Amino acid sequence: MRKIHFIMGLLLSALSCRAQVADVLVDFEDKAVGEVIPVFSLEGSAAARAVVAADPLNAQNKVVHVTTGADATESALNVRVVNLPTGKTLGDYEWLAFDYYRADEDLDNGDAYVSMNGKEVWRDARNICYEARGRWNRRVISLEALKGNTKTRIAPFRFGYLGGGKDYYLDNIRLVRDVDYGYDLDDPATTLRHYADALGINVGVAMGDGQGFFLSNGYAKNPDSQLTRTFTGLFNLTVCENDMKWEVTEPEQGKFNFSPADQLVEVALANGMKVRGHTLCWPNHLPGWVYGLKTREEMMAALKNHVQTVVDHYKGKVFEWDVCNEMIDAGQEDGLCRDLFYNVFGPDYLDSCFVWAHEADPDARLVMNDFLVEIDGDGKAMKLLDLAVKMKRKGIPIDGVGWQCHCYWLGCFAWQKQKMKTLINRYARYGLDVSFTEMDQGIGYNDRDKLSAWEAQAPDYRTLMELAVECPNVSSIIVWGMNDPYSWRPSYDGAQQPLILGDYLQAKPAYTQMLDVLKASVVTGIETVETTDGTRGNMNVVYNLAGQQVDASYKGIVIKNGKKILQR
């Protein structure tokens, strides 16, 4: 029973994990099935209606079912609730949360939104449309705009949908307060960034269109907001999940749109963070016009212009690019997928993209990025290694590879750490770095909010952080999403709560274990700290924190003459 699961989840959070208080505004249990709820509609209002109905997955629960006519341009459910706990106002709450459901057969791509007092505070198209089909999904929205409001006790929320022919369900509309985040942004010693900076490791987070709360309404540009402080306080690197992909940056041939990505880049650089670029060449997320390119010459001209225009726009801002993404096919002798670029351009498209990117920004690091390539001996992993080495030997300007590190079963990395380390060392022999670029680890739908499930996913995160600390040629570890409700995984394979921060940005056990690894690597008992770029003085006899002799190319903390030195 979903509502019992929801209540138990809150109980577990309060007793076992990071606590918060959720005050339910509306759960429809006190209403009769068939009761009509007032609905707002701009057009087609006669056909737009909201009715209390049985939960499509559990008939014992009551929910609200919203439908709209085919000609409606917008419809919305108004929620005005005055039953906040005594002494509480909206300004006491940090988050608005609700559950959302759409039928399996409903494939419409309209935009869902929430507004307060006429001001839109959240919009979510992709995740709602794809993830919410056939299952209940949780959504959370920051109430940053109401912070400090001591007067309002009415919740004037509007849950809307743009477009006609909609069919969706809402339930458990609630306000959340008193969140125990599990870290103190005023105490750097509780943050990943503090120790990552000390060790010279990039610990990053992807920000996607799902995290619309972050960039909307200027929250990201408010340095005092909880959202911005969490983003810039916990991480020292970021990457756009989707906003640098071809369909966004060049939706029409020769017409570029950098505005969505520019917002994130601006906030990151203003706060001393690094930015990775993702991705220049990938046969997915392409605008329709690219599929119309039928000759090698057409594809070459379009691909070169796209790569160089995008890289040039972010020259000096993006330090590393995923030049090509998901190009490996272990079943092919040359290791390359027979995708659009291969079939129209030819196998040399890969080399060309790297050369063009290097011409546009000679200082940017360039890598290939792929999935299921993390384990030594696996066919796809060895094909990527072989391809990268061949490119390096040919003089192609490649600096390393990206391992996406999407974990598809619990323990998939923790159980195979040594094989991963062996493969990382193989890359090191050829002067190639490895980045963990898209880490996430999901749990089952029925295990949501369970501390035991969160603890079970933590060792895989810990393993990657250990490898990042132990292996000098691991340059970055990136979590693919900021907090659980806005991960891509539920819409892809149903994996739930796959990230290190929970619904309300609270630290999960995965965060704590990653932090523990960084702490242990920094705390050596040697008090004196110096910094070097690795080129000054005699750096031939130095040791890392594991007691291994390293040279000047090593990045991180080393010991020389009894002193701890941060070598960059």
pLDDT of residue 164: 67
Q: Cα separation of 101 and 170, whole Å?
A: 7
Residue 525 backbone class (left: φ over 0; alpha: ψ -120 to 50; beta: rest):
left
What does the alpha-carbon distance between residue 269 and residue 542 come to, in Å, rounded to a whole number? 33
Other CB atoms within 10 Å distance of the CB of residue 7: 14
Query: What's the token pair of residue 419?
Result: 């094989």
Q: What is the pLDDT of residues 66-102, one digit of tens each?
A: 887 666 667 777 776 556 788 887 778 888 888 888 7
From the CA atom positions of the chain, what is the Rg in Å? 25
Residues in the chain, pLDDT under 70: 1-19, 40-47, 69-73, 80-83, 104-110, 117, 124-133, 145-156, 163-164, 209-224, 523-549, 555-568
Q: Which residues are catalytic?
A: 326, 438
Residue 118 CB contacts under 8 Å (≥ 6 apart), including other chains:
none
Helix (H) or strand (E) holding 510: helix 509-522
Predicted pLDDT of residue 246: 98
Distance (Å, whole) CA 460 – CA 465 = 9
Strand intervals (E) in 125-179? 137-142, 155-162, 167-177
pLDDT of residue 145: 61
Supply the pLDDT for residue 44: 46
Write down the pLDDT at residue 72.
64
CA torsion 33-39-43-44 (nearest 10°) is: 10
Closest CA to 539 of 563, 515, 516: 563
Quick one: pLDDT at residue 109?
57
Instruction: Give residue 364's pLDDT.
Output: 98
Element containing residue 387 per DSSP (H, E): helix 379-394
pLDDT score at 184 = 95
pLDDT at residue 91 in the model? 79
What pTM does this model have?
Answer: 0.85
Sign of the four-CA dihedral 278, 280, 283, 288: positive
